[in-house]
Amino acid sequence: MRQLQDTVWQRRGTSWVWDEEARNQVCAASEVWSLRQFLRTAGAPGVPRSWPDDLPSNGRRTLVVAGLDGSLDLLTPTDADLWLSDAIKPAILSFQDEYEGDAALVFWLPTGHSRIKVQASTDAVSWLCHAPHGYQLDFGRILWGEANEYPQEILMRPGGKPAGLFHLRIT
């Protein structure tokens, strides 16, 4: 998987971040939205979107959302797959459309370092859910259609451990 040392992830695209230092570079803890608030703002089919003119973080250019990890853990494998494709992906697309690619959406996943798995040979990305289900969710297939050449590992410093994953534009 390609690596990214640039700060573009702080201003554009969608990221899944598990490094606290990285998260602190884009927001204060009080600026983090709940997953519920994010989904409500994105609107549901037939419900209008209500995105704010100014985002809460990083000079009004970034939205950080927490709670995706806990929600995935509560669902069965089939329900998690459907929920990611039917609720989360459309909300990400709504965000991208609203800000025309000129804002960053960051999902804060504090345990992501041990739960996001990248298969070295294919760059396929999966999410390891905790008990009671304990399965691997095909994150990349669901969220970016297995366009595995596009996500990049976020590095905070040369030679450092990945702080998250960045994808410029989900389609």
Can you tell me which residue has the tokens 């996001």? 116
Question: How many C-beta atoms surround the C-beta of residue 18 within 10 A?
Answer: 23
pLDDT the model gives residue 148: 60
The DSSP letter of residue 160 is P
pLDDT at 171: 84
C-beta atoms surrounding 124 within 10 Å: 16
Per-residue pLDDT of the chain (171 residues; tens, 9 = 90+): 899 999 999 999 999 999 999 999 999 999 999 999 999 999 876 778 899 999 999 999 999 999 999 999 888 889 999 999 999 999 999 999 999 989 999 999 999 999 999 988 888 899 998 877 778 999 988 998 866 667 899 999 999 999 999 999 998
- What pLDDT was estimated at residue 62? 98
- Say what the pLDDT of residue 149 is: 63
C-alpha 90/C-alpha 73 separation (Å) is 20
